[in-house]
Amino acid sequence: MIRTIFWKNNTVVLIDQNALPIAEKYIACKSYKEVIFAIKDLTVRGAPAIGVAAAMGAALGALHLLPLPPKEFRQIFFAICDEIARARPTARNLFWALERMKKCFDHAKHASQRDIVKELVSEAKRICLEDIEINRQMGKYGSPLLVDGDNILTHCNAGALATAGYGTALGVIRAAHEQGKKMHVYVDETRPVLQGARLTAWELKKEKIPFTLITDNMAGFLMQQGKIDKIIVGADRIAANGDTANKIGTYSLAVLACAHHIPFYAAAPQSTIDVSLKTGAAIPIEERKSEEVTHFKGVRSAPEGIKVYNPAFDITPAKYIKAIITEKGILTKPYRVSIAQMHKGKKRS
């Protein structure tokens, strides 16, 4: 199994996703600041993996506050959580995980500082292990949507690398593959950072799931040629009405899928759903540095001194999404109702 992130000897160990697929190496973050840097520079990326990294980063931060007096211990821990929360703005899982860590702290507040830290480390490890289980559940609910002979298009990387393990959208494909279904995956390269070409292709190759890599601008032509049966993507944040933020380029795929009558699915855990936001218009969209567009691995591919716009995510309106696959079951339209029901603890499948 691919190990994306784990806690070892009071460090947060991450597979270096910037080094993949050329090198498979791990880095150990020794401080919460190093974890923030790793989130910002995409060493760890993908909404659920960012959430786990944030939780472990917070635990690491608390560990180094042990010598402080109680009042400062709490105050600075909460400030560290807020600092980690500023690492990236779109993935809901980042904020969800930090809220959970703050609650854990307050729950344990009458214990000794050493025991509070123990609790925080355990909570972060729990968030990590739960994520793998949640992804397997998503695979269980989502795999019946895929059948023998399907050609499935996916965008970005919503696999083991984007989570604590197994994956969301790729987890559903993985589960169907484990059931013996013979499918083929088209992988969008995913400009500008190439999460598809570098990471999804790496994972599928490792798993021996048949796939073909295409550039993003080929997807429409393949749909027109009848080469795509289904599209499945992950999500960074889903609003209460089902509008979904995911890697830039997802919206174009959803519109094309609609024009070609191809079912378009999103797979995401409940922790990605933000019921406090009525629609996708309220989801903050991260803008990243222009070098991601003008350069590749440090090599310039555009003229110097030009204007660049680099939004990292876009919003797919709920109307284009046939179903949202979650660990609690399959959500269908109207999402305002199915999401609210799930939030209240009523399962749907």
Nearest to 7 by CA among 48, 74, 63: 63
Q: Which of 4, 168, 271, 338 binds ligand MRU (CB under 6 A)?
A: 168
What tokens appear for 307 in the block?
Answer: 């204007």
Residue 51 engages ligand MRU in binding (rule: CB under 6 A): no
What tokens appear for 82 in the block?
Answer: 């807020």
Q: What distance in Å separates the CA atoms of residue 333 and residue 28, rounded to the nearest whole number?
A: 43
Q: What distance in Å separates the CA atoms of residue 287 and residue 90, rounded to the nearest whole number?
A: 10
Residue nearest to ligand MRU (CB): 234
Residues near 336 by beta carbon (within 8 Å), at least 6 away in sequence: 240, 241, 242
Piece of 53-61, 64-72, 160-168, 318-326 that binds ligand MRU (CB under 6 A): 160-168
Whether 314 is a known active-site residue: answer no
Query: Annotated catalytic residue: which of 236, 243, 274, 314?
Result: 236
- Restricted to residues 296-315, the positions that interact with ligand MRU (CB under 6 A) are 312
Please list the helix, strand and coil fractions of the chain in percent, rounded to the nearest 5, in that order: 45, 15, 40
Q: Could you give the 3-state DSSP secondary structure of residue 7?
A: strand
Residue 223 engages ligand MRU in binding (rule: CB under 6 A): no
Distance of CA 313 to the CA centre of its chain: 12
Residue 57 engages ligand MRU in binding (rule: CB under 6 A): no
Nearer to ligand MRU, 137 or 163 (CB): 163
Residue 191 engages ligand MRU in binding (rule: CB under 6 A): no
Q: Which of 14, 29, 156, 262 binds ligand MRU (CB under 6 A)?
A: 156
Which residues lie near ligand MRU (CB under 6 A)? 45-48, 91, 156, 158, 162-163, 168, 195, 234-236, 246-247, 312
Question: Which positions are catalytic?
Answer: 236
